[in-house]
Amino acid sequence: MVLMPRKSQAALEFLTTYGWAFLVILIMIGALAYFGILNPTKVLPNRCNFGAEFQCVDYQMNASGLKLKLKSNVGRPINIYNISIESETTAQLTCGPYNTSSASAWRSGELKDINIGGCNYPSVGILQGEKGKVFVTVKFYETESGPSYMKIVNGEVLTTVV
């Protein structure tokens, strides 16, 4: 009669014990993620970043649109051609156009309030009371050069929707 060594039984019990512990940890992480406790956007700070051409002085996302207070750092007077807003999801975010017809030349160092309304935030998953992230594209040209010398600056706003 040949007896099996007890080493294999000890190894199997060791692996089984750690397997159960690993399974419990995975279930706990899944539950935390399901209930939104592990949502990284809740712990990220609010921010507004643009290129060196514009300084974001203040910002607010509300249920109807986006308000920005930008300072021009271009060095020369500029005119805004267009401002567009996109979301990070694949769904299309539509916002009312920024009215550039009444906009005058924007001098260097001057602050401007930019209000863009009519945004369909709920359709792209940005809900009131939660953090939302949008990408802003500003197309402008220097007043002396004219619209044939268009420049583009991309920005990002991450904040709680009020």
Q: Say whether 100 sits in a helix, a strand or coil.
A: coil
Six-digit token string for 129: 């009371």
Sheet with 78-87, strands from edge to edge, namely: 47-49, 151-160, 131-142, 78-87
pTM confidence score: 0.76
In the chain, % of residues over pLDDT 70? 93
* Highest mean pLDDT of the ranges 1-10, 123-132, 141-150: 141-150
What was the pLDDT predicted at 34? 86
Q: Say whether 124 sits in a helix, a strand or coil.
A: helix
Class of residue 106 by CB neighbours under 10 A (exposed 0-12, middle 13-18, buried 19+): buried
- pLDDT band for position 149 (50/70/90)? very high
149 vs 64, which has greater pLDDT?
149
Contact criterion met (CB below 8 Å) for 153 and 106:
no
> How far is 71 from 43, CA to CA, in rounded Å?
28
- For the chain, what are the domain ranges? 7-38, 44-160
Which of the four CATH numbers 3.30.360, 2.60.40, 1.10.12, 3.40.50 does domain 44-160 have?
A: 2.60.40
pLDDT at 7 > cutoff 80: no
Q: Say whether 18 sits in a helix, a strand or coil.
A: helix
What was the pLDDT predicted at 4? 60
Instruction: Choose among 127, 114, 120, 116: nearest CA to 161.
Output: 127
Instruction: Choose among 68, 70, 161, 69: nearest CA to 120.
Output: 161
Question: To the nearest whole number, what is the mean pLDDT of the chain?
Answer: 89
Six-digit token string for 36: 């939104």
Mean pLDDT of 11-33: 92
Rg (CA), the chain: 26
Give the pairing type, strands 151-160 and 111-117: unpaired
* pLDDT single digits (tens) 93-137: 888 878 766 567 899 999 999 999 989 898 898 899 888 999 999
Contact criterion met (CB below 8 Å) for 155 and 50:
yes
